Structure 1
Amino acid sequence: MQDRTFNTALEIGRAEPELKHDVSYDLLLSTIDAFLANQNICYAIKEMSKNSAEEQREKCIDLFVACGDYKKVINGFGSICTSIKFYTIHENNLSRSASQFVLVYQKLNDNRFTAVKLCIYSSYKINNWLYFSSEELLKTRVYSTSKNYWTLNYSNSFIYTLSKAIENKHAEEEQFQDLCECCKRASNGIKSHLRRFLCDDSINMLINALNSQSSDCLNDNVELLSKNLRNTDGNKISDFLPKSIDLVRSILKPPGLVVGILGRDGSGKSTFVNEITKTLGGCFSNTITFKRHPKIFYKELIFKKGEDYHFSKPHLYKERGYMASFLKLNLLLVEFLVGYWLKVFPLKRKAFLILYDRYFIDVLADPLRYRIKGNKLFIKMIHYILPQPDIWIILDLSTEVLMQRKQELTFEMSEKLRQEYLNLQKILPNCMVVSNEKELQKTVDNATAHILYTMRRKLLNIS
């Protein structure tokens, strides 16, 4: 995407952009409608029901356009969103005929961010099988006077929602209610449409589940539906070359994000991780958290020698000798290195948000926690060998406040440890120190703004 009008401050890298404007979800829909109408582009929109969308932090829109208009829409999408203060922080090519954009915006007087996932299709495919062509969907579209834009008709909306649920191996409650509503309004044509994709037994099971208002019945049989859906006599399309290009692109520039979170015991890392996951989850395909390390080879108990060990009080124990420390550091090197390529990188390619509650560099700031006695130069050398998180966040608070939360260390030791963590800024690129003394929500909001800002710069290739 060639959009570089995000913010003058962002262009020169001097300050973070101000995302908060008088914007709304309805403004995005009306702007998309106006843009497509001005370009004489035929389209149809499929979105979540308004009530569900208003209750959730994440909103979803699927936009269908003709094959000939697909590139035009993709190329112009960034500028029209930026013009109304919706900022693209992530984009992903789902296939040769589908792209996904993740947008964020803030309303006035609301510090929270709202994510909007918008998928643009010129055709809809599952595992290279063509299920809907844009021409087929747009030919029978209808205009919604209540929403002021073109939508899929009820039959196509039903089939499309069902295929999405089957593809995801689960029907969300909003999807199931949408299926029931579409089935009710287009009952005469539903079965004939379904025979194109499913056998009679699967159709009867599906209709019974809808009539009984049982989403559990549908989800219990989703594997069977998935198998039948794959065996349809649809049009097989080869996407080998585009998929190969997308594979290379995902390896060179994986769309996910790895965030390393550091801080002293009692700084609120675990609670912060839980909250940031809820806040940013809608911007990614999924989220996962690793505590300390990926857990590939390293088993902490091998260094305990059968002694009682209290994980909540790691600083009560003495350092190991130089040889044991050397072995442990090398084991951690292998653990983080292999763990990244076997666990972390595959998830990053799938657009996951990966959070590390501590990372290897934590050893440099707090070696006693790991009972390591060693040369700091050797620890730094290992740090530079290892793949690094995209963003570092150090949670900080005054020692006085920390001592009220946790009194494992003396005031002097805790203050010294605080300085060690703050000194990590000197060797960690893209590092942010966030105060966690006051309301947790403010801490999360500040960190979220920094993460979204970094994602935006990454998308625009701004160093």
Structure 2
Amino acid sequence: MIHKLFKYLHKESIDYTIINGYKSLFEKTNTSEDVDILFKKEDFLKIEHILKGFCKLNDFKIVQIYHQEVYAKNIFIFDPNTTKILNLDTYGKLQRKHTAFFTETEIFKNFSTYKGINILATHQEFLHYLLKKIDKNEITDTVFNYLQMLFFKEEALCKKMLKQCFKNHSDSVIKALQSKNKSKLLESIETLRKDIVSNPKIPLNDRFKDKLRILKRIIKPTGITISFLGPDGSGKSTIIDGLTHKTLPFRKTTYFHLKPIITNNKSIATVNPHECAPYSKLKSYVKLLFFVYQYNLGWLKNIYLLKIKSTLVIFDRYYDDLIVDKKRYRYGGSKRVAKLIRFFIRKPELYFILTTNADVIYNRKQEVEFSELQAQIKNYKALTNGKQYYHIDVNRSPDSIVKDVYSILMKKMNERY
């Protein structure tokens, strides 16, 4: 996908430079499409429009946009045909600690090329890469060797930039590189991090834009909640595990069982879910009211903040299970009342209903009577609407099931954009 994007940008005469890691984009062993790309400020401000044009031309889909800083957006593009994701870190300014060491003109007048794509000038790449690795404390042998290569390629300019970047300790960086002594650089890394020239005076306009950015993240969180429903033996745990090992456009993934309440157990195994007698009607209705309290308070305390932090929140089962299999929850009240209560409970954006023929599931697990299993499957399928509740036939390989779940999730994410 990334090489198609380069061709598109060249065709549309949109200036860009790859900040670092450009060599890996041409390696056959590279399976990650994670690219740091810098645009001119005027193009960055309309980057979503530019990328939507690119996606429309190639039948790709934008599935996630994190607005990390005023001039930094992390944009994920999905290819439905290959199910691959392109992860673009887009920038409108090349800066560290709110300090830009190069002007836009300096960058775009002096950029280099590598196999036909635009890259930073050597001294610019050197400084940006050095600051990034110091900030993250990631000075490995590979990183140090690469920094050395860049440094000796344009030594005079790199020295000049180091003296501008560090207030007092540029010489220690120069000596470490010249003497090929990584340990010397590591010894002074904390000092260097504090010594980087910073600009605490952020323009008023940028500060205002940053407040708006944060407000937008709160009002429209970039995370999403999904739930997996289905009888015992439908393979919920296997499919959830498979999905979490895919490349996902989220900061992290969090798991909940049944309710939005934090517990120490990833799964709660029920050997005989129907062994206990149902509660009385009165006790059952009190339990429903307690569920309303638990689900809504748990959502406010745990889920909403996770969504703001761009998390994929996965539920194994949810309140809907009580409507399908009331014996499991010892519910002795009216099904109609249970359905009514559902309107007062916060719901995930997506449900995946995992079922297939009763014979197949019964051969996997015989935890309920066959007739009860048939009734459950019928009730689960009745929830399906193709908008929020999606039925997934699980009588096939886990990889095939995960692929379908993944595609539906990406389609749902794309609807936001």
State if a TM-score over 0.5 links the two structures: yes
**Matched AA of 1:137:** I
Deviation at 1:47, TM superposition (A): 5.2
**Structure 1 unaligned residues grouped into runs of 5+:** 1-23, 301-308
> How far 1:338 moved relative to its partner?
1.9
Question: What amino acid maps onto 2:108 in structure 1?
Answer: L
Residue of structure 2 aligned with 1:185, choices 127, 150, 172: 150
Stretch of structure 1 that moved more, 187-196 or 82-91: 187-196
TM-score, structure 2 length as denominator?
A: 0.83
> Which residue of structure 1 lines up, in the alignment, with residue 388 of structure 2?
430
Is residue 221 of structure 2 the alignment partner of residue 254 of structure 1?
yes
Q: CA offset at residue 243 of structure 1?
A: 1.9
Instruction: State the 1:26 CA deviation.
Output: 2.3
Work out which of the residue numbers 55, 70, 80 in structure 2 matches 1:96: 70
User: Displacement of 1:320 after TM fit?
Assistant: 3.3
For the 8 Å contact 2:36–2:88, the answer to whether it is kept is yes
Q: What's the counterpart of residue 288 of structure 1?
A: 254
1:445 equivalent in alignment to 2:415: no
Looking at structure 2, the residues matched to 314 and 259 of structure 1 have their Cα atoms a distance apart, in angstroms, of 24
Whether the 8 Å contact between 2:80 and 2:407 is mirrored in structure 1 is no
2:117: which partner in 1? Answer: 149
Indicate the residue corresponding to 1:28 in structure 2.
5
Cα distance, 1:409 vs structure 2: 1.3
Counterpart of 1:374 (choices 319, 333, 341) is 333
Contact 2:20 2:125 in 1 (8 A): no
- The structure with the larger Rg is 2
Spell out the pairing of 1:4-153 with structure 2 (5 A cutoff): 24-36=1-13, 41-46=14-19, 48=21, 49-50=23-24, 55=29, 58-71=32-45, 73-106=47-80, 112-125=82-95, 128=98, 130=100, 133-144=103-114, 146=115, 148-153=116-121
1:305 corresponds in structure 2 to none
The size of the alignment, in residue pairs, is 406
Question: Structure 1 313/171 Cα, relative in aligned 2: closer, same or farther at 3 Å?
Answer: farther
Classify 1:260/1:128 alpha carbon distance in 2 versus 1 (closer, same or farther; 3 Å).
farther
**Superposition map of 1:207-246 within 5 A:** 224=190, 228=194, 232-234=197-199, 236-238=201-203, 239-246=206-213
Distance 2:101 2:302 in 1: 33
The 3 A distance-change label for structure 1 pair 255 and 73 is closer
**Cα distance per residue 1:27-64 (max 9 Å; x no partner):** 2222223323xxxx443113544279755654122221
Q: Aligned partners of 1:70 and 1:290: how far apart in 2?
A: 38
In structure 2, relative to structure 1, the CA distance for the partners of 1:96 and 1:180 (3 Å cut) is same
Query: SS of 2:362's equivalent?
Result: helix
User: Any idea what the Cα deviations from partners look like across 1:404-439, whole Å, max 9, x if unmatched?
Assistant: 21111121111111112112226x952110111111
Comparing 239-248 with 56-65, greater Cα deviation is found at 56-65
> Which stretch shows the higher mean deviation, 120-129 or 97-106?
120-129
**Cα offsets for 1:56-76 (capped at 9, x unmatched):** 654122221222443355433
**What secondary structure is seen at the aligned counterpart in 2 of 1:228?**
helix
**Counterpart of 1:43 in structure 2: which amino acid?**
Y
Choose the corresponding residue for 1:334, options 293, 296, 299.
293
Spell out, residue by residue over 1:205-238, the C-alpha distance to the aligned partner (whole angstroms, 9 max, x if none).
Answer: 9959x96889xx97x998x479627x63336314
Label 1:200 to 1:369 Cα distance change in 2 as closer, same or farther (>3 A).
farther
Q: What's the TM-score once normalised by structure 1's chain length?
A: 0.75
Q: How does 1:292-307 map to 2 (within 5 A)?
A: 292-296=258-262
Distance between the aligned counterparts of 2:41 and 2:226, measured in 1?
38
Contact 2:281 2:333 in 1 (8 A): yes
Gap regions ≥5 residues in structure 2: none
- Cα 1:341–1:369 shift into 2, 3 Å: same
1:260, distance to aligned residue in structure 2 (A): 1.5
